[in-house]
Each structure stands twice: as C-alpha cells, then as structure tokens.
Chain A
C-alpha cells in the first residue's frame, strides 16, 4: 500500500520558484495498477520520483506499507538504463549481486525472470544488441529482480514503436496479474492508461495537481475485445477530452 499524504514539491530556479506539485493526498491499495496521465509539466514524473525516494518532497510524506524492506520499489525508466557493459542476464541480476544474494539462488531467479519477460535466448546479449522493446523487457525484469512489492514505471513504453508497445502492454498486464505487484504507471497515452489501470489518476499542469481519478471497471484479463467495448471507448473519450482541455 502506498499512502500519499499532502505531498508538495517546489523547485527553486533562477526565475523564482516553480510549483511542480500542489499538495494532494491519495491512497493506493496493495495489488492495484494505477495509471497516471497528464500533459507535460503536470508533475507526474516528479510524483513518481518522490515515491521512489529519488526526490524529497517540499512538504508532506509518503508512507509505503512495506515495513523494513531495503528496496521497497522497483523502478522502470523511460528508456531502459541498462548497464551497457553487462549482458542481459548480468543486468537483471545486478540488484541481486549488489545485495549479496548467493550466486546459485541468483541464477535461478534470473532464469525465471528471463522467462517471465520473454527474453529467453538473449541472456548473453549486450544492451547495444537489443531493440528498444527488448531493452525495456530487460529493465522490467531487473526492476522485479529482488521482488519489490511496488513497481514504479515512468513512461516505460514511450520509446518503442506502437506494435511493440501494445505487446508490452499485454505483457505488463500478464506480469501484474501473475506477480500481484502494486504498480504505478506514468504514461502519455490515454488508451494505455485506461487499458492497463484499475484506476486512472489525471493530473493537470502549472501548477501540477491531481485533477481527477477514475475507477476503471473493466473485466480482467483485458484484451482486444476490451479495446472495442463501449465502456473502454467512453472512458478513453472522456480522458481525451479532459487532456485536450488542459493543453489548451
């Protein structure tokens, strides 16, 4: 569970203070997949970075219901950020290696993860030999390596082509159902947000604030037929209208 309590963030730059996030609170239950959308400058990435502990909020606090875990969150960046000198398998086991997990145990885990994300046969490839989509799969496997209960994803599929993106969406949905992780997904795409989320948080820019949250009552597992269902199309239309209003 993630509790966001009156989180706010200001950046002070040359031209004075910029309010990246106005105070807001939100609760995210265990096992939820919450999509966060909003135009550029709405603070969605900042929010994710605060939850990850990469930024400190100006006020408010984040409570992760993951008492005492050394690494409570896995993080997936917009582009994979793999260590370029390590192979796929070595990259995935990097979180395990650096926390002293024994070799044999790590090997087993890496094998499972490679299966899970569909990278079998590419264990010994270097990142430079992989396509954008495959790099992102490796990055997801790495984020899952030491089994964090929370997965934070910052526009993870925006750097891959549309077809790969749809495949990866289905893969993510499958991984989520299989592992039961709590996932926060920041995205630009309203379809992606509605298709994957159990809830969609819409944020508005300048200053960044939470505009509205939508519960997504679509049956799970979702597939192509979901994307044609009137409920899905209505939600997408509503989200799109809201996004359009904000960017005007």
Chain B
C-alpha cells in the first residue's frame, strides 16, 4: 500500500512540475497566448464551456465511442482467438492473414474506413474496433495456448459442456493475457477515437481540437488536449484497479 501511495505522490509531483513549467512559460517567460495560453485561461475557458453545457456532450461522445469500440473489439478479439484455438484448421488458414493484418497500420486505413462506412458513428466505431481487436486477439490467443494442459484434462474428467469449458475454465485462465491486450487496446482506442473525430463529424474532443485550431481558439485546443490526456490517465488507472481486484490470483504473494 505504501508503494502505491508513493507512486501516486511521484505521479502528482511530476504533474505539478509540468504545470509549473507551463505557468512559467506562459506567464513570466512571456510566450504569446495564441501559442501558449496560460493555465488559468485554459481552465476558465473549460469552466465556461462546462457551465454553458458545451463541454459534456463532447466528452460523453468520445467516451461512448471508446467504450463501445473497446467492448466490441474485446468480445470479437476473444471469440475469434477461441475459435482459432479450438479449430486447428481455421488456425492454419487464418493465422497468416491475421498476422499480416495485425502489422498493417490501421491509422493509415482511417480515410478508407470513412469512405466505406460514412461520416457517422459507424466509421468511428469501426476504426476504434480495428485498433482494439488485434492486441486483444493476440493476447487472448497467447493466453488460450498457454493454458495448463492439465486444466483441459480436468475439464474432460468433469465432462464439462463446451460452454462450461469456455466460461468457467478457458476464459478465466486466459484472463491475465487477455487483459494485457485490453490495456494496449484501450490506449489505441483513445488514439483512434480522437483521430476519427478529427476527420469527420461535429462532436467529441477530437472535433473540439480541429474546431479550435481552425478558429485560433488556442485555450479550447489546450483544454481538449488536457481532457484527452486526463481521460487516458483515468482509463489506465481504472484498468489497473480492475486488474488488481480481479486478477490478483495471478500475482504470487510476497513472502
């Protein structure tokens, strides 16, 4: 626990230092506000937007897309991995193409995805999905393959049904590996969500950034970037918390 407290303190100190540097550069050092608005002006702008009800819809939109993309990507990533794990034939046929797809830069495909799926929500979710899917798939497949073979013996001895095998043994045994994929996928999802909003639509933190850039409202740009970074940190902390709570069985006790 004290280690965790120290980590939080160190994290806080680093942030404070960064804030101080920002304040110094925009204040005493004298960077022009259109290049670097002061922390105070950014916070005031955010506060005013929040009070006017102009901020929350954007935040909610981005979070909604990330959560949806992350959920769908995770479910499909895990299911396809299990299908490959259980079907050697599919594994032989699909593994090659999937590795090629996995190494393809999905971000570069973003314009294509918009052409295919339109300017609306679908394209955004598809882009996020494509970014989440592969790390989760890779993590899950590695996890399924690493299951102790005697757990399969146990499942066979207990005559478990296929559903029992999946939900009560294989999925849980692979959860630590799957979670590694989800954590990578979550960061990718954030990048994907912002990128998709840069390219089309009129909602979300990514849209706020392009809007602010086009209209030279630098404080809004900074505010949106700040909120995105903040959301990334919250998501990371949340996933760590989930991991600590539900996957502690996987971590050897300190002796």
> CB within 8 A of B154: which of A70, A81, A129?
A81
> CB within 8 A of A81: which of B148, B172, B253?
B148
Contacts A126-B249, A128-B249 known; A73 to B168 CB distance under 8 Å? no
> CB within 8 A of A128: which of B168, B175, B252?
B252
Nearest-neighbour CB distance to chain B for A37, whole angstroms, equals 22
The interface centre, meaning the residue of B150, B158, B164 with most chain A CB atoms within 10 A of its CB, is B158
Whole-angstrom CA separation of A94 from B175 in the bound complex: 19
Nearest-neighbour CB distance to chain B for A211, whole angstroms, equals 27
Contacting pair A129 B253 (CB below 8 A):
yes
A52 on interface, CB distance cutoff 8 Å: yes
Whole-angstrom CA separation of A126 from B252 in the bound complex: 11
Q: What is the total of A-B residue contacts with beta carbons within 8 Å?
A: 48
Whole-angstrom CA separation of A75 from B157 in the bound complex: 8
List residues 43-93 of chain A with CB under 8 A from any CB of chain B.
52-54, 70-71, 73, 75, 77, 81, 83-85
Contacting pair B158 A98 (CB below 8 A):
yes
B213 on interface, CB distance cutoff 8 Å: no
Contacting pair A83 B169 (CB below 8 A):
yes
> CB within 8 A of B157: which of A54, A83, A126, A129?
A54
> CB within 8 A of B153: which of A75, A83, A127?
A75
What residues of B have a CB within 8 angstroms of the CB of A77 in the complex? Answer: 150, 153-154
Number of interface residues of A (CB under 8 A): 20
For chain A, what secondary structure do more than half of its interface residues adopt (helix, strand, loop), or is it mixed? loop
Contacting pair A54 B158 (CB below 8 A):
no
Whole-angstrom CA separation of A85 from B249 in the bound complex: 5
- Kindly report which residue of chain B lies nearest to residue A146, judged by CB atoms: B158
Whole-angstrom CA separation of A73 from B175 in the bound complex: 29
B151 on interface, CB distance cutoff 8 Å: yes
Contacting pair B169 A73 (CB below 8 A):
no
Whole-angstrom CA separation of A99 from B168 in the bound complex: 13
What residues of A have a CB within 8 angstroms of the CB of B151 in the complex? Answer: 81, 83
Taking A52-B157, A81-B154, A83-B169 as known contacts, 5 extra A-B pairs with beta carbons closer than 8 A to each other, sorted by chain A number, are A54-B156, A73-B157, A83-B173, A84-B249, A98-B158
Instruction: Give the interface of B toward A (CB within 8 A).
Output: 148, 150-151, 153-154, 156-160, 164, 168-169, 172-173, 175, 249-250, 252-253
Instruction: Give the interface of A toward B (CB within 8 A).
Output: 52-54, 70-71, 73, 75, 77, 81, 83-85, 94-95, 98-99, 126-129
